[in-house]
Amino acid sequence: NAGVTQTPKFQVLKTGQSMTLQCAQDMNHEYMSWYRQDPGMGLRLIHYSVGAGITDQGEVPNGYNVSRSTTEDFPLRLLSAAPSQTSVYFCASNRNFGDTEAFFGQGTRLTVV
Amino acid sequence: TQLLEQSPQFLSIQEGENLTVYCNSSSVFSSLQWYRQEPGEGPVLLVTVVTGGEVKKLKRLTFQFGDARKDSSLHITAAQPGDTGLYLCAGLSGYALNFGKGTSLLVTP
């Protein structure tokens, strides 16, 4: 019963590098989302998906891409990492849109130097 | 985006004390959620309040939804060190959950 699994747990990138943060859920949830958490800023929504093949932007989408080719996976891509993207990233899934119980992964702590 | 304001931002108390955390908005929400987040972990749902004026109890935690469904409070009775963590309120706004900035609670023995 894994729930939401994020990899890696920690990552250090150099400015300009690209990478993909992985997120997988085994609960057959339709709705998935990515948040970033910064001190004093709370959780801010980056992108979300209401189902396979459908994605949309959240509050802070710039510099990030997502895709949802399967129900289970929702990877987040950093196109060209910048120090401002240093943060803790959380992936979450909900049974469906409108279901307010979000299940979160353990997070990825990303540092961009 | 409907803003959720939480207060206080930080709270440090001793074991056995009572405390209240507030979550306020100028907008009406169909429901509000409270999550708790421990260091190095993702947030975990504690409760959802749906009806204006609703009160829900979870052991020593009491959650209240305002009559106008614009605010909520979390009251902890006889706090314990295990209550330490970040408490977040959230409400559905459009297609996403909108989170407050959180209240960081430290309970010392």
Nearest to B101 by CA among A40, A46, A104, A60: A40
Cβ atoms of A105 and A49 closer than 8 Å: no
Query: Does the distance separating the beta carbons of A92 and B42 come in below 8 Å?
Result: yes
Each residue's pLDDT tens digit, B61-107 = 999 999 999 999 999 999 999 999 999 999 987 778 889 999 999 99
Confirm or reject contact between A39 and chain B (CB < 8 A).
no
pLDDT at res. A1: 64
User: In whole angstroms, what is the distance from residue B65 CA to residue B95 CA?
Assistant: 22
The string of DSSP codes covering chain B is ----EEE-SEEEEETT--EEEEEE-SS--S-EEEEEE-TTS--EEEEEE-STT-EEEETTEEEEE-TTSSEEEEEESS--GGG-EEEEEEEEETTEEEEP--EEEEEE-
Averaged pLDDT for residues A83-100: 91
The two three-digit tokens of residue A105, written as one number = 């992964």
Confirm or reject contact between B66 and chain A (CB < 8 A).
no
pLDDT at A40 > cutoff 70: yes
Smallest Cα distance from A88 to chain B, Å = 10
